[in-house]
């Protein structure tokens, strides 16, 4: 059986970059408006007395965070090779399961407007030898996660429905 790799797509990274840049620009604009004040019935109302540089500086800081998040923050990869499952984060092997057929698996997925808000994979050894593993799969698109889930079931993972303590 061949190695299948699941990782964040270029489109999800570009989407994060675009929306993050729009958000940073909007924050800078709002802070500049707050600094300059607004006029109601020809009466200027100054809302804040912050320095002029605060709005652009805040926008730059947010944009730097977005750039870091896009290029360095979501470096995860999931590999399925036969019955072996690997979770790799930032180049380091976090979890390896040599025989996925010896595990129960379930997942939770929260989406809003076709965007993944939260996505977790739950794995529990059938013999009880390990604690339940909870793996954050949010960087994957819903489509990629569903393909990985179907492949894990095909390779022998036994399905269960996780219970959530909310």
Residues 101 and 130 in one domain: yes
The domain tally of the chain equals 2
Residue 4 banded pLDDT, cuts 50, 70, 90? very high
Q: Using the predicted structure, report yes or no on whether residue 130 has a pLDDT greater than 80.
A: no
- Please give the average per-residue pLDDT across 78-91, as a whole number: 92
**String of b and e for 87-113 (b: at least 16 CB within 10 Å)?**
bbbeeeeeeebeebeebebbbebeeee
Question: Is the domain of 133 the same as that of 94?
Answer: yes
Claim to verify: residue 122 and residue 58 sit in the same structural domain: no
Residue 164 within any structural domain of the chain: no
**pLDDT tens digits, one per residue of 87-96:** 999 889 998 9
122-145: burial string, b at 16+ Cβ within 10 Å, e else = bbbeeeeeeeebebebbbbbeebb
Please report whether residue 1 resides in a domain: no
CATH number for the domain that contains residue 87: 2.30.29
Query: What is the pTM for the complete model shown?
Result: 0.71
| Comparison of pLDDT for 70 and 41, the residue scoring more | 70
Looking at 27, 46, 72, which one is the last position of a domain?
Answer: 72
């Amino acid at each position: 059986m061949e190695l299948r790799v699941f990782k964040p797509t270029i489109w999800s990274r570009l989407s994060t970059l675009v929306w993050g840049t729009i958000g940073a620009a909007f924050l800078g604009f709002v802070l500049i408006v707050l600094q300059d004040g607004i006029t109601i019935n020809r009466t200027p109302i100054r809302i804040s007395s912050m320095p002029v540089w605060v709005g652009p500086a805040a926008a730059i800081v947010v944009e730097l965070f977005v750039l870091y998040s896009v290029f360095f923050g979501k470096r995860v990869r999931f590999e399925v090779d036969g019955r072996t499952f690997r979770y790799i984060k930032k180049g380091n092997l976090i979890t390896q399961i040599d025989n996925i057929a010896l595990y129960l698996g379930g997942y939770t997925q929260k989406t809003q407007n076709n965007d993944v808000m939260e996505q977790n994979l739950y794995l529990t050894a059938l013999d009880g030898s390990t604690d339940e593993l909870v793996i954050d799969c949010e960087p994957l698109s819903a489509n990629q996660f569903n393909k990985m889930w179907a492949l894990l079931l095909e390779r022998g993972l036994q399905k269960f429905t996780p219970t959530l303590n909310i």
